[in-house]
Amino acid sequence: MTSQDCYWFEDMAAGQVLHSARAITLDRDAIISFAREYDPQPAHLGEETAKDSQFGLFCASGWQTGSTTMRLIAETLPIAHGGMGAGIEKLRWLRPVRPGDALRVEIAVLATRPSASRPGSGVVTYRCTTRNQDGEPVQDFTTTVLMPRRPAAA
């Protein structure tokens, strides 16, 4: 990917909304595999163990939803030279992600400002909402990232 295919700080504006071009579908085997490796809770390991979980149903780990979201963010908002996260606020898992759910992201830019401490960077705050195939929100959070400024603008 070239720097022309990426976003620079100057490309971002409050009120701008980006949508992922594709969805990622989580299937049963992927959910179980992720859970075994990273989050072996009963609700994520299969239908039988999920029956006795607090959820009472088989669903993906919230961390798998977050990882899938990050992949979609990287495709939807490719940052020139890579961005640098400064933190996440208000991470919420709003409903369970079930096998067969197809996830997409919506990135809504809330604010932008030049960085006071890094003249070659700008600060962008956005809200990311992950939705399933029915458009229902399954996760959302607000994050702040540092983005490089175009060399001529720095």
Question: DSSP assignment of 87-101, as one string?
Answer: EEEEEEE-SPPPTT-
On the question of pLDDT at 96 being above 60, the answer is yes
On the question of pLDDT at 11 being above 80, the answer is yes
Backbone φ and ψ for 79, nearest 5 degrees, come out as -95, 130
Global confidence as pTM: 0.93
- Locate tokens 């899938």: which residue? 68
DSSP state of 21: S
∠ at Cα 13 (73, 121), nearest 5°? 75
Arch. (CATH architecture) of 3-148:
Roll (3.10)
The helix or strand, by DSSP H or E, that contains position 66, with its residue range, turns out to be: helix 62-76
Q: What is the pLDDT of residues 35-80, one digit of tens each?
A: 999 999 999 999 999 999 998 999 999 999 999 999 999 999 999 9
On the question of pLDDT at 153 being above 60, the answer is no
Stretch 101-128: mean pLDDT? 96
Stretch 25-44: mean pLDDT? 97
∠ at Cα 47 (42, 50), nearest 5°? 30
Q: Which of 70, 80, 87, 58 is nearest to 24 (CA)?
A: 70
pLDDT of the residue at 83: 86
pLDDT of the residue at 2: 53
∠ at Cα 73 (72, 77), nearest 5°? 125
Sign, Cα dihedral of 20, 109, 83, 6: positive
pLDDT of the residue at 116: 93
pLDDT of the residue at 124: 98
Alpha carbons 36 and 115: distance in angstroms, whole number: 41
pLDDT confidence of 3, banded at 50, 70, 90?
low
pLDDT of the residue at 126: 98
